[in-house]
Amino acid sequence: MGWKCTLANDFDRKKGATYQKNWGDGEMIVDDIRNISPDDMPGTPDLVWGSFPCQDLSLAGGGAGLRGDRSGTFWPFIAQIQSLKAENRAPAIVALENVVGTLTSHKGADFVAICEALEGVGYRYGALVADASLFVPQSRPRLFVIAIRNDITLAGASEGPSAPWHTTALRRAYDLLPDELQESWIWWEMPSPPKRELRFADVIEDRPGSVKWHTKSETRALLSMMSEVNLAKVETAKASGVRMVGGVYKRTRYEHGIKVQRAEVRFDNIAGCLRTPAGGSSRQLILVVEGEKIRSRLISTRETARLMGLPDSYELPATYNEAYHLTGDGVAVPVVRHIAEHILEPVMSQAKLQQRQKAIERRNSMQEGSPSY
């Protein structure tokens, strides 16, 4: 089936501008979700998708959870669903996306609250964890909660958890749900995607436009920040006889009780998870090793877009930080396409079939009840 966006919303003006640059400005509203009224939401949507801020739910965040100013925007999102329901326009499907830390935030209480909220507005729900590395060369596990309206009869759902979508953390979060919430749970089922062929090295630009290669002294400085374990990885890459590309993050570690900034590299053909650049340490670097030749630099903005599954035709913001922020905050396109193909679209087909059947039944009932003369 084809999807048509009738409303898009983001609080970030710069993200809104990029959306409009790529998709036009007809449906985008750049504002706080609390300021959107039912009049801004046309018709009865098939799907409402919410990717609310992750900072308060992230393992690297402050731990405020759904009580935080940012991740707490989940609640006005639910209020918007309630307003649609009050006007008999509740969407068939509500989908939520966030970090896997959502499952354990406040010892699982925040995930319970999400399920409780969805049940409260008339939905059954289930969740899955999908790592973008199944589709693109980036380690990026994310939680997807998918809920369907109670009046939709579901066919073909799994009777229990299955790999790789239902992780140990997700099963534990399910076990923490009260019995009445477990009764509304759906174990969503999807096939595993074909084996990924794209490697991290395949997305790397030889002549990036948004960044410059480091000088030799800058590369040496980066290597000097590596522990013996990470330097051994570099030596192994040098001895491999092939071009190796590694992703590098700078992280603060404690060594002998002292804070030390270390550069940590991986050469497994997968980039580290893209994050929004709140500081120098959160920007991913790359290390290209070809025998004795080693080069380094920041990952380019186009490379980050490729790691999210965006085509090269997708227009990015002109500045590095804005483009990195955009991709680091995004959802990997092939992951969403897989979910749409195997869950969202079959559910919508079933829902529309049920609508047609109910319309036929109503028409037949009216005809049978018509007086004859």
Cα(327)–Cα(14) distance, integer angstroms = 12
Question: Which superfamily, per CATH, for 43-193+335-360?
Answer: Vaccinia Virus protein VP39 (3.40.50.150)
Cα(53)–Cα(35) distance, integer angstroms = 17
CB within 8 A of 282, min separation 6: which ones? 249, 275, 276
Helix (H, G, I), strand (E, B) or coil at 164: coil
- Closest Cα to residue 71, out of 84, 86, 61, 81? 61
pLDDT of 279? 46
| Structural tokens at position 360 | 């036929």
Residues of the chain with CATH 3.40.50.150: 43-193+335-360
pLDDT by residue, tens only, the chain of 373 residues: 689 999 999 999 999 999 999 999 889 999 999 999 989 999 999 999 998 766 555 555 556 666 655 557 899 999 999 999 999 999 999 999 999 999 999 899 999 999 999 999 999 999 999 999 999 999 999 999 999 999 998 866 778 999 999 999 999 999 999 999 999 999 999 999 999 999 999 999 999 999 999 999 999 999 999 999 999 999 999 999 999 999 999 999 998 899 999 999 999 999 999 987 654 447 899 999 999 999 999 999 999 999 999 999 999 999 999 999 999 999 999 999 999 999 999 999 998 888 888 888 788 877 776 665 5
- Closest Cα to residue 98, out of 116, 122, 72, 136? 72
pLDDT of 120? 97
Cα(107)–Cα(90) distance, integer angstroms = 31
Q: Give backbone dihedrals phi and psi of 63, rounded to 5 degrees, phi first.
A: 85, 15
What single-letter amino acid sits at 78?
I
The alpha-helical segments, DSSP class H, found in 70-193 are 74-86, 109-120, 168-175, 179-182
- What's the number of CA atoms in the CB half-sphere (13 Å) around residue 355? 9
| Structural tokens at position 78 | 């639910």
